[in-house]
Amino acid sequence: MSEELDVVRQGIDEVDRELVTLLKRRLQLVSKVGEIKSRLGIPVYAPDRERDMLEKRRSEAEKHGISPQLIEDVLRRIMRESYCSEHDAGFKCVNPSARNIVIIGGNGQLGSIFVRMFRLSGYQVDVLSRRNWETDAQRMLANPGMVIVCVPIDVTGETIEKLGSLPEDCILTDFTSVKAVPLEKMLKIHRGPVMGLHPMFGPDIASMAKQVVVCCEGRYQDQCEWVLAQMKIWGTRIERVTADEHDRAMSFIQALRHFTTYAYGYYLQKYRVDLDRLVQLSSPIYRLELMLVGRLFAQDPSLYADIILSSERNVENIMAYRDCIDEQVKMVQSYSRESFIREFLNIRDYFGSYSEQFLKESKILLDQARDSMVHNTL
Amino acid sequence: MSEELDVVRQGIDEVDRELVTLLKRRLQLVSKVGEIKSRLGIPVYAPDRERDMLEKRRSEAEKHGISPQLIEDVLRRIMRESYCSEHDAGFKCVNPSARNIVIIGGNGQLGSIFVRMFRLSGYQVDVLSRRNWETDAQRMLANPGMVIVCVPIDVTGETIEKLGSLPEDCILTDFTSVKAVPLEKMLKIHRGPVMGLHPMFGPDIASMAKQVVVCCEGRYQDQCEWVLAQMKIWGTRIERVTADEHDRAMSFIQALRHFTTYAYGYYLQKYRVDLDRLVQLSSPIYRLELMLVGRLFAQDPSLYADIILSSERNVENIMAYRDCIDEQVKMVQSYSRESFIREFLNIRDYFGSYSEQFLKESKILLDQARDSMVHNTL
């Protein structure tokens, strides 16, 4: 095109190659940090250090006339990679005297992550499933330090009942996405320490850092604390609520939201809406919304059936949602601009400062989304 | 904490400072590219060069044992910044002999972006609004090369009618989010070249690069092409469809989707669901969905009222959506796991390869989302 342009572009390529080298050096240093942290038992995720470091880099960038948001975004992306490399060194074991950990369902997608993490932290982990129950259950469950039930929601109850009598100091816990019913069942069959956990992430995470695990206390929580301390070393954030608070919130966070996503997909399918056209003409935000709908259907239908149909509360919330849609469709049918604006402002009041915060956050995210999405539609 | 850790962290800080310097150098080179492109009239956005360059960096990264996705993500983020700096140099003017461009509503948020872009490209741009109509309209509209109607949807019709007679070679266009009705009106009042445009972005974009503008042809399209060529130089992607295809798609992309988002917000508000708790316990994906709902209510209610209530087709689509919800609520009420799974698989068929593609894209995006969101909930 132009020789002049070629020369400058060669300069850019040169800078980019230096960038690759620099990234390599950084990741090597970070893996050293991982080794040291692992040896000393310091949590992987250090929010204060992260915040300080980003603040310094932002002000340095500003001095150089570079956008602080640019350097923050780039560093956050590199740090995410860093959390993954920190894994390789293994993790400090907070309870070296713990007896074996039995993970029932440890062959599953979510279970196997925890098998790996506990092993990387120096615990003896035994994996039980339907396949090896007959042959191995008796031996593995003879004197375990902890039993984790990590099986699909529809067989959680019967799995807990199959456990029989565990040693009194054994911790019993489950990873089910509802908490009240399994917790009750665990408290009934076991007299020792009991705790319900809900890891709020799918099996496709690159690292445990910054992931949320919800904890609902059952009995003798002090004896369970080492498990949470171990997870914190992995970088996990622990959120403590009661089982009832958990289930109430999940009915909105999981059941209702999955239902509305599912119903939107159903609608598009029923009317055979031209998806290619929608993708072609999408603004970034609609493309993002379409993505969040479409991705559901690449996943396991029974998982979603089980979550949505797991409680009467869910079905009640979904019915209440239907009534809201009814009300609002009537408003739209009357073409009443004033009613719409009035309701809109009520909802804004309800969202309070969250709506502005979400708008700000979504701007950053939509820019990122466009960076990667446009590529795929060209 | 540990001297050893401090030493390694100092090394990381050193690398990060080098990173800031490197970014600065890259942005300077890119601004040179901008100057050259502007002089030669080469479009800002060069998809082939971008693809080649990323491919090279990915394979270099792999040779160094670094994740190719890491280098791609970092470079995409830097390139986004680069598109912004390329602005400063101005843009090549593809039609230097064009007479003045009148942007009606050029003081508005969207209009002012185009005022700036056309001016940066060397055109004489006149801004008309309600405020200066009396004093300036006659002079500005005496012999314009192009008139752009960029006013709220509910006054687009009357604004077009107010235009009176324009020179026969003047291009008349509008930026309204519906296309059939304004296009018809423009064809009626003007005998020269007419084209409907719909910029698919909000006023908060950092750069025009990679943004989509939908074009619906009206009359004498060949005489309008220079406008699209100019927008391509800004980096814009032009999508051509008929006004009817556009309106049909937008009824789903905008009206229906905004309605469902609004209705979900209405539901949360009606039942006073505890937002702090939802945010506390959110998985990244639910947090993202909540963000997309909440952000709506930080924006202008009349804008959304006008989009949703702009056509009978929208209201019909919304009613059809209500019927889908009804059907599916009945299915959920019967707790029929099998029906749910059967429907789910039908919808998967409908989404075809999009569901897997969306799942893959959303994984990348959700990782990015967690990077920035966790920070705000700590």
Residue range A50-79, pLDDT digits in tens: 888 889 999 988 888 888 888 988 898 888
**Position A163, amino acid:** L
pLDDT of the residue at B4: 87
Torsion of Cα atoms, A359 then A361 then A367 then A371, to 10° = -140
**Mean pLDDT, rounded, for B212-220:** 96
Q: Nearest by CB to B346, which of A269, A328, A364?
A: A269
CA pair distance A172, A23, nearest whole angstrom? 43
The arithmetic mean of pLDDT across residues A150-178, rounded, is 94
Using alpha carbons, list the distances in angstroms from residue A378 to A13, A375, B145.
23, 6, 32
Chain B residue nearest residue A306, CA to CA: B337
Q: Does the pLDDT value for residue A367 go beyond 80?
A: no
Cite the beta strand spans of chain A per DSSP E.
101-104, 125-128, 146-149, 171-174, 194-199, 212-219, 237-240
| Residue of chain B with shortest Cα separation from A371 | B76
Please name the member of A263, A289, A363 whose beta carbon is closest to the beta carbon of B204.
A363
CB contact under 8 A, B294 and A18: no
How far is it, in rounded angstroms, from Cα A224 to Cα A171? 7
In chain A, which residue's Cα lies nearest the Cα of B214?
A281
Residue A349 pLDDT: 94
The predicted model gives A182-190 an average pLDDT of 97
pLDDT given at position A207 = 79
Q: β-strand A237-240 against A101-104: which pairing, if any?
A: unpaired
CB contacts of A40 in chain B (<8 Å) are 1-2, 5
Which residues on chain B are in Cβ contact (under 8 Å) with A240? Answer: none
What is the band of B39 on the pLDDT scale with cuts at 50, 70, 90? confident
The helix/strand/coil state of A205 is coil
Q: List chain B residues with CB under 8 Å of A319.
A: 329, 333
User: Is B375 a residue whose pLDDT tops 50?
Assistant: no
| Cα(A63)–Cα(A113) distance, integer angstroms | 43
Interface confidence, given as ipTM, is: 0.80
For A224-242, how does the pLDDT look when each residue is reduced to its tens digit (9 = 90+)?
Answer: 999 999 999 888 999 999 9
Q: Which residue of B has its CA nearest to A199?
A: B283
Q: Which of A290-294, A345-349, B209-213, B218-222 is predicted least confidently?
A: B209-213
Phi first, then psi, for residue A208 (nearest 5°) are -80, -10
Asked whether residue A376 carries a pLDDT value surpassing 70, the answer given is: no
Confidence of residue A343 (pLDDT cuts 50, 70, 90): very high
What are the chain A neighbours of B320 within 8 Å (beta carbons)?
267, 271
B373 — pLDDT class (breaks 50, 70, 90):
low
Name chain A contacts of B346, Cβ cutoff 8 Å. 269
A269-285 in b/e burial notation, b at 16+ Cβ within 10 A?
bbeebebebbbbbbbbb
B223 pLDDT higher than 80: yes
Which residues of chain A make contact with B269, given a CB cutoff of 8 A? Answer: 346-347, 350-351
B219 pairs with which residues across the strands? B194
Q: Which of B246, B301, B326 sits opposite A345 (nearest CB)?
A: B301
Residues on chain B touching A310 (C-beta within 8 angstroms): none
Model pLDDT for residues B118-132, shown as the tens digit of each residue: 999 999 999 999 999
* Closest CA of chain B from A81, distance in Å: 7
> Backbone phi, then psi, for B147, in 5-degree steps?
-120, 125
pLDDT band, residue B282 (cuts 50/70/90): confident
Q: What is the mean pLDDT of residues B43-62?
A: 84
CB contact under 8 A, A319 and B329: yes
Region of poorest pLDDT, from A29-38, A151-160, A304-313, B178-187: A29-38
Q: pLDDT category, B377, cuts 50, 70, 90?
A: very low
Average pLDDT, chain A: 89
- Counting one residue from chain A and one from chain B, the pairs whose CB atoms sit within 8 A come to 450
Type of residue numbered A195: M
In chain A, residues with a C-beta closer than 8 Å to the C-beta of B4 are: 36
Are B12 and A23 a contacting pair at CB < 8 A? Answer: no
Q: How confident is the model at residue B376 (pLDDT cuts 50, 70, 90)?
A: very low
Edge-to-edge order in the sheet of strand B146-149:
B125-128, B101-104, B146-149, B171-174, B194-199, B212-219, B237-240
Q: Over range A11-35, report the average pLDDT.
A: 89
pLDDT band of residue A85 (cuts 50, 70, 90) is low
Q: Do B295 and A359 touch (CB under 8 A)?
A: yes
Tokens describing residue A57: 């880099």
- Of the pLDDT bands very low, low, confident and very high (cuts 50, 70, 90), residue B203 is confident
Inter-chain CB proximity B29 and A36 less than 8 Å: no
With cut-offs at 50, 70 and 90, classify the pLDDT of residue A378: very low
B350 with A269: Cβ contact below 8 A: yes
Which residue does chain B place closest to A237, by CA atoms?
Answer: B378
**How far apart are the CA of A294 and the nearest CA of chain B, in angstroms?**
5
- Closest residue of B to A52, CA-based? B13
Residue A67 confidence (pLDDT): 86
| pLDDT confidence tier of residue B348, bands split at 50, 70 and 90 | very high
Verify whether the Cβ–Cβ distance A341 to B368 is below 8 Å: no
Contact B166, B192 (CB under 8 A): yes
Q: Which of B29, B305, B371 sits opposite A12 (nearest CB)?
A: B29
Higher pLDDT among residues B86 and B24, named by residue: B24
Residue B350 CB neighbour total at 10 angstroms = 19
Contact A321 B267 (CB under 8 A): yes
CB pair distance less than 8 Å for B12 and A26: yes
Cβ distance A266 to B343 less than 8 Å, yes or no, reads yes
Question: Å from A369 to nearest chain B CA?
Answer: 7
When CB atoms are compared, the residue of A36, A65, A295 closest to B355 is A295
Residue B374 reports pLDDT greater than 80: no
User: pLDDT: is A378 or B151 the higher one?
Assistant: B151
Would you state the pLDDT for residue A375? 44
